Structure 1
C-alpha cells in the first residue's frame, strides 16, 4: 500500500474518530496513535487535495516547539525559512519592524501549510495510522451517551451499518469520543446542541488572496495601507509569493485580469517609491471575507472541537494553523489521560484552557484588522474618527519601543 491510500479494518470503530485531516486532526492523530490510542481520521477530500491546498504559511515559534517536542517536524527545519521582519507602507512613509529582536525575540518559520499537512500525514501513515479519504462526515449522533456515532458518505457506500454498507451510500462509525477538526462548515459544528454558543464578527472587509509563481519582492512581510485599500505581501518559497488585495464585498475571484491585479498591487505597494513587484503567473486565487467566530464550550459530551471547528480567525495575523496545533496538543494530552489512565480531569479543563488562548489570538487579530483597513462604508465623521485612530496606532507602532515589544510578542505568539 502506498502512502495516502485509505487503510481498512474490520468494522468502523475506534476509541477516537477524528473528523478532518488538517493540521489539528493529523497532529491529534499522530499523538494519540503513538500512545496506543485506537483512532481513525475521516477526511472528505482526496489526499492530493489536502497535500496541495494552499493555506497559511507562517508557523509561530511555539508551534515549532510543539512539533519538535513530539518528533513531528518532518521537513520543516530543512525546507522552512526563519523570518523576523515586517514592513509597513503608508501615506506617511514606510518603516520596518525587526520583530525577531523585539518582545520575546522570537521568529516565524515560513513553511506552507500544505507541506506541514503532508509531513503529518506521512508520519501518521508510516506509523500504521488509519485514514479514510473521500469519506464525508454528515452528522454526529449520541454525543450525550458513551458511544457516539458518525454517519458518513463514501463513494462506494463502504463501511458498516448493521453489518454492511447502506444502500444510500452511507455508513456509521462508532467511537468513545469524536474530535471535530473539520472546519467551520463540517459535521461537528452542524451536530452541536442548542446549548452551544456561537460568537461571530464580520469585519466588513474582503481580500482577494493570490498565490503567484514569482519570487518575493521584499525580504519582509509587507503591509501596505493605501487609500484604494490594503495590499499584503507574504513570501512562501523562493519561487512563490502570496499576495492579498482588499476588494469590494461580492467580488468574484476570477473577474479581474492578471495585468490589472499586478497594476493594482504595484499602486498599493507604492512601486514608484520602492520598485516594481516581481510578476509571474497567478496560480491560485480566492476571495476571503474577513470574519471571526468562536464556539463555546469546545466540549459537548463526547464531541470535542479543535482547529477551525472551534473558532475561525481572520487571516490578518496568521493565527489559524498555530491555534490548531496548540489545541490539538491540549486535546491529545486530555484524551490520553482519560482513555489510557482513567483520569478525566484534563478533559474537563480542555475547553477553558483552549478558549483562553483562542480569545487572546482573536483580540490581536481584531487589532490587526483595524490597523490595516479603513472603515468600510461612506465617508463620515465616524469614518474620520476611525481613520485618525488608525493613523495614531501606526505612529505609535513606528516610534514606541514598548508598543513594538507588545506587537512582537503577540504577532509571533498566542
Structure 2
C-alpha cells in the first residue's frame, strides 16, 4: 500500500475532510466516494495500528444491513459468526436468554472490529480513496464561515498543513480535534456511572457458548467470545486502580470466583495479551452540526461499553451523514445536515437509555446503604434480574433493545 502525502508547505483541499479512520470515518469515506464526492481521511495512527486496534466485536443486525447495502460486508459474511444467547449468573441462580429468537428474532454478528476496519480500509483504498496516516488533526477553523479549513501535522512535518474543505466530518473520538473545535455554548451531556472495568483479551478458547454476565457481591464479570482462540473478559475493579494491580493468575482466580466456576466449571485459561481499565461513562453532544463541522461516532457521543452500542451507532451515523452530505453537495439541500443531527440524536439517546438500564442491571451502582441491609441499588438489581428471568414481555423488550440501535 502506497500513501502519497502533500508537501506541508502547500495547502490542499477536499469537499469533505474526514477526521478519523475508525468505523464511522471509513464507512463515511467509502460512501462519499461511491457518491462521487471528493474526500480525504486524516488519521493520526499508522496503518498497522489502525488494522490492529482491538475494540468491540458485536455487530447489530441493522449494522450488517447497512454494510450489505453498500457492498462492505463480504469479510464479515466470510469470517463472522452469529450469536443470540446471553447467560446471566447470579447469587439467586443462573438463566439464559435466547434473545436471537425473541422480538424481531435477530442475533448479533460476531466480527472483531479491527477486522471490520481492515475491510473498510481495503475497500476505501481500492476505490482510490485518499488517506493521510500518521497525521494528527490539530484544529478546525471557520466552521461558521464560507471557507472552513483543518490544520494537520504529520509525523515528519515541521509545520502544519492547511486542508481547505466545504465540510468537515469529525469522526475522531471524544478527545479529537472536532470536539476541541466546537464553539462556546455547545451542549455536552455527561454521565459517569461510577463503575470501572478491567478489560482483558485472552488467548484462550471461549468457556461458554453465550455472552456471560456474572453479577457477584465482589463485582461484575463478563465473558464475550471473539474467535475460537480469543476471548474478551471484563472484571469490575476499583476506580483508579492500575491495570497491572493483579497478576494473570489472580485475574483468572477472580474470574473463576465471580463467574461461579464452582457451579459451572472452571474457565479455560490462557495468556492475557491485552489489559486496560475503562471508566464507564457516557456523553452526548447536541447538536451534531456546527456550521460546516459535523460529528459522528464517539465524537458525537461516547457510549459506555455495557451494551455494545458504540461501533453500531457509528456505522448508522456514517450512513446518515453520507446521505446528508450528498444532499447538501449534489443537490444544494443544506437543511439535510440539520435533519441529520435530529435523526441521529434520536438513535443515540435511545441507545443511552438502554445502556444506562443495562449498567444498572449488572452493577451495584454507588449509593447510600441502608443500615444492616443491602443497598437500595442492589435490591433493584435483583428485582430487574428476576423480572428478566420470568417475564416474557420483559425478555422481548430486552431482545429488541439489546440488538437494536
TM-score range, shorter chain: over 0.9
DSSP 3-state at the match of 1:67: helix
Indicate the residue corresponding to 1:389 in structure 2. Answer: 380
For 1:243 and 1:28, the matched residues in 2 are separated by 31
For 1:213 and 1:378, the matched residues in 2 are separated by 40
For 1:22 and 1:14, the matched residues in 2 are separated by 19
Is the contact between residue 156 and residue 169 of structure 1 (CA under 8 Å) also seen in structure 2? no
For 2:357 and 2:199, the matched residues in 1 are separated by 20
Is the contact between residue 14 and residue 175 of structure 1 (CA under 8 Å) also seen in structure 2? yes
Deviations 1:54-81 (A, max 9, x none): 1010000000000000001131001000
Could you state the TM-score of these two structures normalised by the residue count of structure 2?
0.97
The yes-or-no answer on 1:307 pairing with 2:316 is: no
Indicate the residue corresponding to 2:265 in structure 1. Answer: 275
1:11 Cα deviation after fit: 4.7
Deviations 1:284-320 (A, max 9, x none): 0000000000000000000000000000010000000
Alignment of 1:136-285 (within 5 A): 136-157=136-157, 168-285=158-275
1:146 Cα deviation after fit: 1.9
For 2:279 and 2:228, the matched residues in 1 are separated by 28
Alignment of 1:8-27 (within 5 A): 8=5, 11-27=11-27
DSSP 3-state at the match of 2:375: helix
Indicate the residue corresponding to 1:90 in structure 2. Answer: 90
Indicate the residue corresponding to 1:363 in structure 2. Answer: 353
Could you state the TM-score of these two structures normalised by the residue count of structure 1?
0.95
Is the contact between residue 74 and residue 120 of structure 1 (CA under 8 Å) also seen in structure 2? no
1:50 Cα deviation after fit: 1.2
DSSP 3-state at the match of 1:312: coil
For 2:187 and 2:367, the matched residues in 1 are separated by 29
Q: Structure 2 vs 1, CA of residues 11 and 172 (structure 1 numbering), >3 Å: closer, same or farther?
A: closer
Counterpart pick for 1:407 among 377, 389, 398: 398
Counterpart pick for 1:292 among 277, 282, 285: 282
For 1:209 and 1:337, the matched residues in 2 are separated by 41
CA RMSD of aligned residues (A): 1.2
1:156 Cα deviation after fit: 2.0
For 2:156 and 2:388, the matched residues in 1 are separated by 57
For 2:312 and 2:146, the matched residues in 1 are separated by 31
1:386 Cα deviation after fit: 1.4
Deviations 1:113-158 (A, max 9, x none): 011100000000001000100110111000001221111111221x
Deviations 1:9-41 (A, max 9, x none): 685200000000000000000000111100000
The yes-or-no answer on 1:6 pairing with 2:3 is: yes
For 1:218 and 1:329, the matched residues in 2 are separated by 35
Indicate the residue corresponding to 1:162 in structure 2. Answer: none
Q: How many residues are aligned here?
A: 401
Indicate the residue corresponding to 1:164 in structure 2. Answer: none
Indicate the residue corresponding to 1:163 in structure 2. Answer: none
DSSP 3-state at the match of 1:233: strand
Is the contact between residue 135 and residue 153 of structure 2 (CA under 8 Å) also seen in structure 1? yes
Is the contact between residue 229 and residue 247 of structure 1 (CA under 8 Å) also seen in structure 2? yes
DSSP 3-state at the match of 2:143: coil
